[in-house]
Amino acid sequence: MCRMSRIAVIGGGAAGMMFAVLASEKGHQVDLFEKNEKLGKKLFITGKGRCNLTNNCDEQEFLQAVVSNPRFLYSAIYGWNSADVMDFFEKAGVPLKTERGNRVFPCSDHSSDIIRCLEKKLAENHVTVHLNTEVRSLLIREEKACGLVLEGGVVFQADAVVVASGGKTYPQTGSSGDGYRFAEEAGHTIKDPEPSLVSLTTEEACVKEMQGLSLKNVRLTIERGRKKLYDEFGEMLFTHNGISGPLVLTASARVGRELKKEKLAARIDLKPALERDKLDARILRDFAEAPNRQFRNILGGLLPSSMIPVMVGLSGIDPNKRIHDITKEERNRLVDLIKGFPLTITGTGSFHEAIITRGGVNVKEIDPGTMESRKVSGLYFIGEVLDVDAVTGGFNLQIAWSTAHLAADSL
């Protein structure tokens, strides 16, 4: 494509804004179309309003954090890695800091600083931003993208079109999955969009009794038959119909597809730092100190209070039984429960609460070296609309920045 092309970008989110900034810097006339009344609505809520904009790690670690199609992102990440992204924002006047797990945030802890920075650059580079403007379809002639159709059938002519319309989670932010329709109209196939980085639902109704209870330093194992699908340490919490929290969100990315086919068995080790016999010795000590107490009153030192009635119920031990009457076999059952609180995972939460969409435009139909469609020339796909997704930690925004940079670079 020659210089000074007119480029239409669909979506003023992370990927669309970054693309518009970088392409306009190269001298292209860029028109950015956003259906909301402002830019970056989803970006605003990222990282609980603090925007975990990238992960301060090398390319290999980044690729390991990508769950779907990491190899597709090879050129994108080697072309513009997290150090480049940090450099971009810092040079643009947004000081950054790196926190636990290499998560990068603006020093101000305000996602609005990231949005304001991009908006300022858009204005400096004379990008025309069309707010409150919903793109209805693509204009394609003879397998070449040549513009867009807006509301009311208004046609906008362009030399190239970039689809940066995001996935379909948190639809109230504007990401409602329109890009999948545009891609299909252009002859692309779509890998079924599914919610990911999301809570998991369980068969056991007892979770409701523990709703809101947060567990730190536990180990979550999820298995299909004897095969371990997920086994990590961290923090999680119980919800009204299942489990959530950082450990569970990451688990959802790893086991979500399996859950489409069948339920999965999960176990929570509540005391991962204690070997089984050490835990047994600890319980024996507690029991020896209060032999006349009732079973239901002895677990306070070991378990959070809202979990005790559930544990007592699952143990099958009479809650009123005196400690000195508890048998070794009963104590073993208690140890088993603490080392492996059992749950049956039935599915995931909805698109309304998921952090990202797994699935999207089939990456086999996109040139990984340019982000251009292999079916329609002059048509590009960047960001979450593609069938790529990563775990939490700033990796998903890095996908948006890197794919945007690659597309802008290849114009």
Ligand X SMILES: Cc1cc2nc3c(=O)[nH]c(=O)nc-3n(C[C@H](O)[C@H](O)[C@H](O)COP(=O)(O)OP(=O)(O)OC[C@H]3O[C@@H](n4cnc5c(N)ncnc54)[C@H](O)[C@@H]3O)c2cc1C
Instruction: Round to whole Å and give the CA distance between 321 and 315.
Output: 12
Q: Which of residues 16-75 bind ligand X (CB under 6 A)?
A: 16, 33-36, 41-43, 45-47, 51-52
Task: Give the interface size with ligand X as a residue count (CB under 6 A).
Answer: 38
Residue (161 or 308) nearer to ligand X, CB: 161
Q: Which of residues 117-176 bind ligand X (CB under 6 A)?
A: 134-135, 164-166, 169-170, 174-175
Instruction: Round to whole Å and give the CA distance between 362 and 261.
Output: 21
Does residue 190 belong to the site contacting ligand X (CB under 6 A)? Answer: no
Does residue 244 belong to the site contacting ligand X (CB under 6 A)? Answer: no
- Burial class of residue 278, CB neighbours in 10 A (0-12, 13-18, 19+): exposed
Instruction: Round to whole Å and give the CA distance between 248 and 242.
Output: 10
Q: Which of residues 361-390 bind ligand X (CB under 6 A)?
A: 383-384
Does residue 13 belong to the site contacting ligand X (CB under 6 A)? Answer: yes
Q: Side chain identity at 353, as an amino acid letter?
A: E
Three-state DSSP class for 291?
A: coil
- Tokens for 267, please give them: 């176990």
Radius of gyration of the chain (CA): 25
H or E, element range at 137: strand 135-141
Does residue 7 belong to the site contacting ligand X (CB under 6 A)? Answer: no
Site string for ligand X, 304-323 (x = CB under 6 A): --------------------
Q: In the complex, what is the shortest distance from the CB of residue 305 to ligand X, in angstroms, rounded to a whole number?
A: 30
Q: In the complex, what is the shortest distance from the CB of residue 291 to ligand X, in angstroms, rounded to a whole number?
A: 51
Instruction: Round to whole Å and give the CA distance between 255 and 253.
Output: 6
Residue 334 CA from chain centroid, whole number: 35
Q: In the complex, what is the shortest distance from the CB of residue 253 to ligand X, in angstroms, rounded to a whole number?
A: 12
- Mark the segment that binds ligand X (CB under 6 A) among 14-22, 57-65, 314-322, 341-349: 14-22
Residue (151 or 262) nearer to ligand X, CB: 151
**Among the listed residues 194, 197, 161, 200, the one whose alpha carbon sits nearest the alpha carbon of residue 177:** 194
CA distances from 218 to 74, 176, 270, 349 (A): 34, 35, 5, 22
How long a stretch of residues is the chain?
411
- Mark the segment that binds ligand X (CB under 6 A) among 4-12, 247-255, 326-334, 343-351: 4-12
Does residue 14 belong to the site contacting ligand X (CB under 6 A)? Answer: yes
Among 299, 356, 366, 411, indicate the residue that binds ligand X (CB under 6 A).
356
Among 32, 400, 406, 411, indicate the residue that binds ligand X (CB under 6 A).
400
> Could you tell me if 258 and 67 are in contact, meaning their C-beta atoms sit under 8 angstroms apart?
no
Task: Give the bridge partners for 347, in sequence order.
Answer: 201
Q: Which residues bind ligand X (CB under 6 A)?
A: 10-16, 33-36, 41-43, 45-47, 51-52, 134-135, 164-166, 169-170, 174-175, 178, 355-356, 383-384, 394-397, 400
